[in-house]
Amino acid sequence: MNSILVLHGPNLNLLGTRQPEVYGTTTLEMVNSACVAHGQSRGLSVVCLQSNHEGALVDAIHAAKGVHVGIVLNAGAYTHTSIALRDALSSVELPVVEVHLSNIHARESFRHVSHIAPVALGQICGFGAQGYLLALDALAEHLAARNA
Ligand code: CA2
């Protein structure tokens, strides 16, 4: 079965425990379970990882090559700062869908910039945890079209 890596960046381990008005009440564990179940319904196995460390996220992206067929990435605040993550994504040449729980374009101007977007298939933001499932659908459709 094709496998997808769902990768979460810094502070997303706090999901559902603080700032529910911005990030909702769903915990990361709930998001991950929903991703695994949704992937299964689309014939994809899903592996979820979270790290607060930029280098660990880079390592996870490198390790995805040859193991996973695509990546769903919420890089958290590294979205707006990390050229290292962008370079890692470029180097592995896997299809990536960028996800954000909040609508980053409706927030502070520093969140409007994404270093991930130029190397992603697309960006889904503002739909809360549902965005991860939309991202899995987008990846599944992309992979099916590519393999047709
Ligand atoms: O909206 C998103 O998903 C973000 O990637 C979340 C990041 C933020 O820096 C990005 O601009 C947009 C922050 C993640 C922090 O997550 C928390 C969750 C619960 C409580 C506190 C932080």
**Of 77, 145, 148, 68, nearest to 116 (Cα)?**
77
Question: What CA–CA distance (Å, rounded) separates 27 from 64?
Answer: 24
Domain extent, residue 74, equals: 2-147
**Of 130, 122, 115, 145, nearest to 9 (Cα)?**
115
Question: What CA–CA distance (Å, rounded) separates 122 from 132?
Answer: 12
What is the structure's pLDDT at 24? 86
Q: Which atom of ligand 1 is nearest to the CA of 100?
A: 3
Question: What CA–CA distance (Å, rounded) separates 60 from 111?
Answer: 24
- Residue range 9-38, pLDDT digits in tens: 999 999 999 888 888 899 999 999 999 999
What is the structure's pLDDT at 18? 87
Q: Are 92 and 128 within 8 A, CB to CB? A: no
Q: Are 65 and 94 within 8 A, CB to CB? A: yes
**What separation in Å is there between the alpha carbon of 93 and the centre of ligand 1?**
26
Residue nearest ligand 1's atom 20 by CA:
18
Question: What CA–CA distance (Å, rounded) separates 75 from 85?
Answer: 8
What is the structure's pLDDT at 71? 98
What is the structure's pLDDT at 148? 83
Residues of the chain with pLDDT under 70: none
- Structurally, how many domains does the chain consist of? 1
pTM of the complete model beyond 0.95: yes
Q: Is 100 considered catalytic here?
A: yes
CATH of the domain at 123: 3.40.50.9100
What is the structure's pLDDT at 147? 83
Question: What CA–CA distance (Å, rounded) separates 146 from 94?
Answer: 12
Q: Which atom of ligand 1 is nearest to the CA of 80?
A: 11
